[in-house]
Structure 1
């Protein structure tokens, strides 16, 4: 398996987009990796940061806080932050219950997303 998929959080940079891919259980233990990924994306300062959450099976408030902080930074800088799905039930539930679902641009939320 490629090294990029052995970690829970990985950043791939393209010309105009930084793609942050997360997978598995992303919780407080992953704070450093998540913060480093967003810092790397911010340093590259692309027009858009996309966060692929389609493979995230568990989240806690740490990721919600990281996403909200990134959302604020991107808005202040005039950049786009897009969450990529389909969102797994745990992610969908966290955004819905926290009342933050509407704060984000979400792409790929097809029929496998929980309601």
Structure 2
């Protein structure tokens, strides 16, 4: 005969506090945002064309013109910034559906 049903209500077990199991807020998530570079072109017209293509998917893009150390001018097409991972992933899905291979850049916010 088991005494389990009589003994159980009278006993209590206190679990030890383990630091690893306590919820920890992710730190630094507000310190960064993400920008997606969709392309880099020598010809500005090509950059404008890609910007328009991206706009048809509902993404606002801008063109950043830079000159490298050798004096070559490049026109980078970028969209963002994204502070929310789900919006970032949604934008990436739209770009991939356009057969664009995006580059995600993590940018630290200015203090």
TM-score (norm 2): 0.27
- Higher gyration radius (CA): 2
TM-score (norm 1): 0.26
